[in-house]
Structure 1
Protein backbone atom coordinates (compact mmCIF):
# COMPACT_ATOMS: atom_id res chain seq x y z
CA UNK A 1 0.00 0.00 0.00
CA UNK A 2 1.47 3.34 -1.01
CA UNK A 3 1.82 6.34 1.28
CA UNK A 4 -0.73 8.41 -0.67
CA UNK A 5 -3.48 5.80 -0.27
CA UNK A 6 -2.72 5.53 3.45
CA UNK A 7 -2.95 9.34 3.87
CA UNK A 8 -6.27 9.48 2.05
CA UNK A 9 -7.74 6.81 4.32
CA UNK A 10 -6.52 8.64 7.43
CA UNK A 11 -7.95 11.95 6.13
CA UNK A 12 -11.35 10.32 5.72
CA UNK A 13 -11.27 8.94 9.25
CA UNK A 14 -10.20 12.18 10.90
CA UNK A 15 -12.94 14.77 11.25
CA UNK A 16 -12.30 18.19 9.85
CA UNK A 17 -11.37 20.78 12.45
CA UNK A 18 -13.96 23.53 12.62
CA UNK A 19 -12.41 26.94 13.21
CA UNK A 20 -15.62 28.96 12.97
CA UNK A 21 -16.84 30.71 16.08
CA UNK A 22 -20.35 30.67 17.51
CA UNK A 23 -22.61 33.56 16.61
CA UNK A 24 -23.63 35.34 19.82
CA UNK A 25 -26.61 37.63 19.44
CA UNK A 26 -29.76 38.79 21.17
CA UNK A 27 -33.01 38.08 19.34
CA UNK A 28 -36.45 39.27 20.43
CA UNK A 29 -38.79 36.38 21.27
CA UNK A 30 -41.16 35.58 18.41
CA UNK A 31 -39.77 38.43 16.31
CA UNK A 32 -36.83 36.93 14.35
CA UNK A 33 -36.81 38.38 10.84
CA UNK A 34 -34.52 38.50 7.84
CA UNK A 35 -34.01 42.24 8.33
CA UNK A 36 -30.62 43.52 9.52
CA UNK A 37 -28.80 42.98 11.80
CA UNK A 38 -29.90 39.34 12.21
CA UNK A 39 -30.38 38.63 8.51
CA UNK A 40 -26.91 39.84 7.57
CA UNK A 41 -25.29 37.96 10.48
CA UNK A 42 -26.95 34.71 9.39
CA UNK A 43 -26.22 35.35 5.71
CA UNK A 44 -22.49 35.71 6.41
CA UNK A 45 -22.54 32.23 7.92
CA UNK A 46 -24.52 30.67 5.01
CA UNK A 47 -27.59 29.87 7.12
CA UNK A 48 -30.98 29.71 5.39
CA UNK A 49 -32.42 32.87 6.95
CA UNK A 50 -36.09 32.06 6.32
CA UNK A 51 -35.84 28.59 7.90
CA UNK A 52 -33.89 29.96 10.86
CA UNK A 53 -36.45 32.70 11.55
CA UNK A 54 -39.32 30.21 11.29
CA UNK A 55 -37.53 27.76 13.63
CA UNK A 56 -36.67 30.46 16.19
CA UNK A 57 -40.16 31.97 16.19
CA UNK A 58 -41.72 28.50 16.67
CA UNK A 59 -39.37 27.73 19.58
CA UNK A 60 -40.22 31.04 21.28
CA UNK A 61 -43.96 31.05 20.47
CA UNK A 62 -44.90 30.32 24.10
CA UNK A 63 -42.95 33.37 25.38
CA UNK A 64 -44.09 36.97 25.60
CA UNK A 65 -43.27 38.59 22.28
CA UNK A 66 -40.39 41.06 22.30
CA UNK A 67 -38.39 39.69 25.24
CA UNK A 68 -34.65 39.87 24.42
CA UNK A 69 -33.13 36.38 24.37
CA UNK A 70 -29.36 35.80 24.23
CA UNK A 71 -28.71 33.13 21.59
CA UNK A 72 -25.68 31.06 20.60
CA UNK A 73 -25.69 29.67 17.06
CA UNK A 74 -23.13 27.08 15.95
CA UNK A 75 -23.03 26.53 12.19
CA UNK A 76 -21.93 23.17 10.71
CA UNK A 77 -20.25 22.64 7.33
CA UNK A 78 -23.49 21.27 5.81
CA UNK A 79 -25.26 24.60 6.62
CA UNK A 80 -27.19 23.11 9.53
CA UNK A 81 -26.93 24.79 12.90
CA UNK A 82 -27.30 24.26 16.62
CA UNK A 83 -29.34 26.96 18.34
CA UNK A 84 -29.10 27.49 22.09
CA UNK A 85 -31.56 30.01 23.55
CA UNK A 86 -30.75 31.34 27.02
CA UNK A 87 -32.99 33.11 29.52
CA UNK A 88 -33.35 36.91 29.13
CA UNK A 89 -30.47 39.06 30.46
CA UNK A 90 -30.39 40.04 34.14
CA UNK A 91 -30.99 43.71 33.23
CA UNK A 92 -34.33 42.74 31.65
CA UNK A 93 -35.49 41.02 34.85
CA UNK A 94 -34.22 43.86 37.04
CA UNK A 95 -36.08 46.51 35.01
CA UNK A 96 -39.24 44.39 35.02
CA UNK A 97 -39.08 43.88 38.79
CA UNK A 98 -38.40 47.58 39.38
CA UNK A 99 -41.16 48.62 36.95
CA UNK A 100 -38.87 50.86 34.87
CA UNK A 101 -38.01 51.15 31.19
CA UNK A 102 -34.66 52.90 31.50
CA UNK A 103 -31.72 52.48 33.88
CA UNK A 104 -29.81 55.33 35.45
CA UNK A 105 -28.87 58.31 33.28
CA UNK A 106 -26.10 59.76 35.46
CA UNK A 107 -23.81 58.45 38.18
CA UNK A 108 -25.33 58.13 41.63
CA UNK A 109 -28.92 58.32 40.37
CA UNK A 110 -31.50 55.81 41.67
CA UNK A 111 -33.53 54.59 38.70
CA UNK A 112 -35.65 52.08 40.58
CA UNK A 113 -35.89 49.78 43.58
CA UNK A 114 -36.39 46.05 44.11
CA UNK A 115 -36.68 43.92 47.23
CA UNK A 116 -34.44 41.08 48.38
CA UNK A 117 -37.22 38.68 47.36
CA UNK A 118 -37.05 40.01 43.77
CA UNK A 119 -33.27 39.50 43.83
CA UNK A 120 -33.64 35.90 45.00
CA UNK A 121 -36.33 35.09 42.40
CA UNK A 122 -34.20 36.51 39.57
CA UNK A 123 -31.21 34.49 40.82
CA UNK A 124 -33.30 31.30 40.83
CA UNK A 125 -34.39 31.92 37.23
CA UNK A 126 -30.86 32.73 36.04
CA UNK A 127 -29.41 29.67 37.81
CA UNK A 128 -31.14 27.54 35.14
CA UNK A 129 -28.99 29.16 32.41
CA UNK A 130 -26.17 26.91 31.22
CA UNK A 131 -23.41 29.57 31.43
CA UNK A 132 -24.18 30.02 35.16
CA UNK A 133 -24.57 26.33 35.96
CA UNK A 134 -21.34 26.12 37.98
CA UNK A 135 -22.16 29.10 40.20
CA UNK A 136 -23.94 28.85 43.54
CA UNK A 137 -27.13 30.79 44.19
CA UNK A 138 -25.16 33.12 46.47
CA UNK A 139 -22.61 33.86 43.72
CA UNK A 140 -25.41 34.56 41.24
CA UNK A 141 -27.08 36.90 43.78
CA UNK A 142 -23.78 38.78 44.23
CA UNK A 143 -23.44 39.09 40.44
CA UNK A 144 -27.00 40.45 40.18
CA UNK A 145 -26.33 42.97 42.99
CA UNK A 146 -23.41 44.34 40.93
CA UNK A 147 -25.51 44.55 37.77
CA UNK A 148 -28.34 46.26 39.68
CA UNK A 149 -25.87 48.82 41.02
CA UNK A 150 -24.64 49.68 37.49
CA UNK A 151 -28.28 50.04 36.32
CA UNK A 152 -29.05 52.37 39.22
CA UNK A 153 -31.44 49.92 40.85
CA UNK A 154 -31.41 49.95 44.64
CA UNK A 155 -32.05 46.73 46.58
CA UNK A 156 -34.10 47.23 49.74
CA UNK A 157 -35.64 44.96 52.41
CA UNK A 158 -39.19 46.31 52.14
CA UNK A 159 -40.94 48.51 49.60
CA UNK A 160 -43.99 50.65 50.37
CA UNK A 161 -46.22 50.48 47.24
CA UNK A 162 -47.63 54.02 47.56
CA UNK A 163 -44.24 55.58 48.21
CA UNK A 164 -42.71 53.67 45.29
CA UNK A 165 -45.57 54.68 42.96
CA UNK A 166 -44.80 58.33 43.76
CA UNK A 167 -41.08 57.66 43.19
CA UNK A 168 -41.81 56.16 39.74
CA UNK A 169 -43.99 59.14 38.76
CA UNK A 170 -41.19 61.55 39.71
CA UNK A 171 -38.72 59.37 37.82
CA UNK A 172 -40.89 59.43 34.69
CA UNK A 173 -40.96 63.25 34.87
CA UNK A 174 -37.13 63.27 35.19
CA UNK A 175 -36.77 61.00 32.13
CA UNK A 176 -39.07 63.22 30.06
CA UNK A 177 -37.11 66.31 31.11
CA UNK A 178 -33.82 64.58 30.22
CA UNK A 179 -35.16 63.59 26.77
CA UNK A 180 -36.34 67.16 26.16
CA UNK A 181 -32.89 68.50 27.13
CA UNK A 182 -31.27 66.06 24.70
CA UNK A 183 -33.64 67.09 21.90
CA UNK A 184 -32.93 70.79 22.49
CA UNK A 185 -29.17 70.17 22.59
CA UNK A 186 -29.39 68.26 19.30
CA UNK A 187 -31.43 71.03 17.66
CA UNK A 188 -29.00 73.73 18.80
CA UNK A 189 -26.07 71.70 17.48
CA UNK A 190 -27.84 71.34 14.11
CA UNK A 191 -28.38 75.11 13.97
CA UNK A 192 -24.69 75.80 14.69
CA UNK A 193 -23.53 73.46 11.91
CA UNK A 194 -25.81 75.01 9.28
Structure 2
Protein backbone atom coordinates (compact mmCIF):
# COMPACT_ATOMS: atom_id res chain seq x y z
CA UNK A 1 0.00 0.00 0.00
CA UNK A 2 1.27 3.45 -0.88
CA UNK A 3 2.14 5.97 1.81
CA UNK A 4 -0.38 8.75 2.40
CA UNK A 5 0.84 12.18 1.28
CA UNK A 6 0.16 14.84 3.94
CA UNK A 7 1.57 17.81 2.04
CA UNK A 8 4.06 19.46 -0.25
CA UNK A 9 6.65 22.03 0.80
CA UNK A 10 8.20 24.33 -1.81
CA UNK A 11 11.47 26.03 -0.88
CA UNK A 12 14.46 27.68 -2.52
CA UNK A 13 17.64 26.48 -0.84
CA UNK A 14 21.20 27.35 -1.83
CA UNK A 15 23.04 24.43 -3.42
CA UNK A 16 25.15 22.52 -0.91
CA UNK A 17 24.23 24.92 1.90
CA UNK A 18 21.02 23.50 3.42
CA UNK A 19 20.99 23.91 7.20
CA UNK A 20 18.32 23.81 9.95
CA UNK A 21 17.96 27.60 10.10
CA UNK A 22 15.02 29.34 8.38
CA UNK A 23 13.50 28.71 5.88
CA UNK A 24 14.32 24.97 6.00
CA UNK A 25 13.95 24.27 9.73
CA UNK A 26 10.53 25.84 10.39
CA UNK A 27 9.00 24.51 7.15
CA UNK A 28 10.05 20.91 7.83
CA UNK A 29 9.50 21.15 11.60
CA UNK A 30 5.81 22.02 11.12
CA UNK A 31 5.33 18.70 9.34
CA UNK A 32 7.42 16.78 11.89
CA UNK A 33 10.07 15.80 9.34
CA UNK A 34 13.70 15.07 10.21
CA UNK A 35 15.43 18.35 9.36
CA UNK A 36 19.02 17.10 9.49
CA UNK A 37 18.18 14.09 7.31
CA UNK A 38 16.82 16.45 4.63
CA UNK A 39 19.82 18.79 4.92
CA UNK A 40 22.30 15.93 4.44
CA UNK A 41 20.35 14.43 1.51
CA UNK A 42 19.87 17.82 -0.21
CA UNK A 43 23.52 18.83 0.20
CA UNK A 44 24.62 15.45 -1.21
CA UNK A 45 22.23 15.80 -4.18
CA UNK A 46 23.41 19.35 -4.99
CA UNK A 47 27.15 19.03 -4.34
CA UNK A 48 27.96 18.95 -8.09
CA UNK A 49 26.16 22.27 -8.64
CA UNK A 50 27.72 25.69 -8.13
CA UNK A 51 27.70 26.37 -4.35
CA UNK A 52 25.31 29.12 -3.30
CA UNK A 53 23.09 28.91 -6.40
CA UNK A 54 19.43 28.95 -5.23
CA UNK A 55 17.78 25.64 -6.12
CA UNK A 56 13.99 25.26 -5.97
CA UNK A 57 13.03 22.04 -4.19
CA UNK A 58 9.64 20.38 -3.74
CA UNK A 59 9.45 18.18 -0.65
CA UNK A 60 6.66 15.59 -0.42
CA UNK A 61 5.77 14.83 3.22
CA UNK A 62 4.15 11.48 4.08
CA UNK A 63 1.97 10.47 7.05
CA UNK A 64 4.75 8.29 8.56
CA UNK A 65 6.97 11.43 8.77
CA UNK A 66 9.15 10.32 5.88
CA UNK A 67 9.73 12.50 2.82
CA UNK A 68 11.00 12.60 -0.74
CA UNK A 69 12.20 15.65 -2.63
CA UNK A 70 12.66 16.81 -6.20
CA UNK A 71 15.21 19.48 -7.10
CA UNK A 72 14.55 21.82 -10.02
CA UNK A 73 16.91 23.98 -12.08
CA UNK A 74 17.82 27.45 -10.75
CA UNK A 75 15.38 30.27 -11.62
CA UNK A 76 15.89 31.84 -15.07
CA UNK A 77 16.38 35.30 -13.54
CA UNK A 78 19.30 34.05 -11.41
CA UNK A 79 20.94 32.45 -14.47
CA UNK A 80 20.38 35.59 -16.57
CA UNK A 81 21.88 37.83 -13.87
CA UNK A 82 24.90 35.53 -13.62
CA UNK A 83 25.47 35.32 -17.39
CA UNK A 84 25.14 39.10 -17.95
CA UNK A 85 26.88 40.27 -14.78
CA UNK A 86 23.90 42.42 -13.77
CA UNK A 87 23.43 42.85 -10.00
CA UNK A 88 19.63 43.11 -10.14
CA UNK A 89 16.81 43.62 -12.61
CA UNK A 90 15.34 47.00 -13.51
CA UNK A 91 12.44 48.35 -11.41
CA UNK A 92 11.07 49.89 -14.66
CA UNK A 93 11.96 47.31 -17.34
CA UNK A 94 10.20 49.10 -20.22
CA UNK A 95 12.02 52.41 -19.70
CA UNK A 96 15.25 51.67 -17.80
CA UNK A 97 17.46 49.01 -19.37
CA UNK A 98 20.16 47.44 -17.18
CA UNK A 99 22.09 45.33 -19.70
CA UNK A 100 22.14 43.30 -22.91
CA UNK A 101 21.81 39.59 -23.58
CA UNK A 102 22.59 37.78 -26.85
CA UNK A 103 20.72 34.93 -28.53
CA UNK A 104 23.65 32.60 -27.73
CA UNK A 105 23.43 33.45 -24.01
CA UNK A 106 19.66 32.86 -24.09
CA UNK A 107 20.24 29.45 -25.71
CA UNK A 108 22.73 28.53 -22.97
CA UNK A 109 20.20 29.42 -20.26
CA UNK A 110 17.38 27.63 -22.14
CA UNK A 111 19.47 24.44 -22.41
CA UNK A 112 20.14 24.56 -18.67
CA UNK A 113 16.44 25.19 -17.87
CA UNK A 114 15.03 22.76 -20.47
CA UNK A 115 14.10 19.94 -18.02
CA UNK A 116 11.78 22.30 -16.11
CA UNK A 117 10.31 24.25 -19.03
CA UNK A 118 7.13 23.13 -20.78
CA UNK A 119 8.43 24.37 -24.14
CA UNK A 120 8.05 22.01 -27.11
CA UNK A 121 11.53 22.68 -28.51
CA UNK A 122 14.67 24.74 -27.91
CA UNK A 123 13.37 27.72 -29.92
CA UNK A 124 10.23 27.94 -27.77
CA UNK A 125 12.39 27.66 -24.64
CA UNK A 126 14.61 30.51 -25.88
CA UNK A 127 11.51 32.69 -26.43
CA UNK A 128 10.36 31.94 -22.87
CA UNK A 129 13.76 32.93 -21.44
CA UNK A 130 13.83 36.04 -23.68
CA UNK A 131 10.52 37.12 -22.12
CA UNK A 132 12.04 36.74 -18.65
CA UNK A 133 15.06 38.78 -19.78
CA UNK A 134 12.86 41.60 -21.11
CA UNK A 135 10.84 41.71 -17.88
CA UNK A 136 14.14 42.18 -15.99
CA UNK A 137 15.08 45.17 -18.14
CA UNK A 138 17.60 43.40 -20.37
CA UNK A 139 17.82 44.22 -24.08
CA UNK A 140 17.56 41.02 -26.16
CA UNK A 141 19.89 41.09 -29.19
CA UNK A 142 19.45 38.75 -32.15
Q: Shared fold by TM > 0.5? A: yes
Range that drifts further, 104-113 or 65-74 = 104-113
Structure 1, unaligned runs of 5 or more: 1-12, 158-194
Of residues 50, 67, 71, the one that matches 1:81 is 67
Of residues 104, 116, 123, the one that matches 2:110 is 123
Name the residue aligned to 1:5: none
**CA deviations over 1:59-85 (Å, ceiling 9, x no partner):** 111222110001111011222111111
The answer on 1:137 being equivalent to 2:122 is: yes
**C-alpha separation in 2, matches of 1:114 and 1:39:** 37
Name the residue aligned to 1:149: 134
The answer on 1:29 being equivalent to 2:15 is: yes
Give the CA deviation at 1:47. Answer: 1.0
More strand by share: 2
Q: Note closer, same or farther for the CA distance 1:16–1:102 as it changes in structure 2 (3 Å cut).
A: closer
Q: Note closer, same or farther for the CA distance 1:102–1:59 as it changes in structure 2 (3 Å cut).
A: same
**CA deviations over 1:106-163 (Å, ceiling 9, x no partner):** 341111111110111111111123xx25632222222111111111111113xxxxxx
More helix by share: 1
Structure 2, unaligned runs of 5 or more: none
Structure number with greater Rg is 1
**C-alpha separation in 1, matches of 2:60 and 2:11:** 12
Name the residue aligned to 1:190: none
Number of matched pairs? 141
The answer on 1:40 being equivalent to 2:30 is: no
2:32 and 2:65 in contact (8 A); partners too: yes
Q: Note closer, same or farther for the CA distance 1:120–1:16 as it changes in structure 2 (3 Å cut).
A: closer
Give the CA deviation at 1:16. Answer: 7.0
1:127 and 1:140 in contact (8 A); partners too: yes
TM-score normalised according to structure 1 size:
0.67
**C-alpha separation in 1, matches of 2:75 and 2:53:** 9
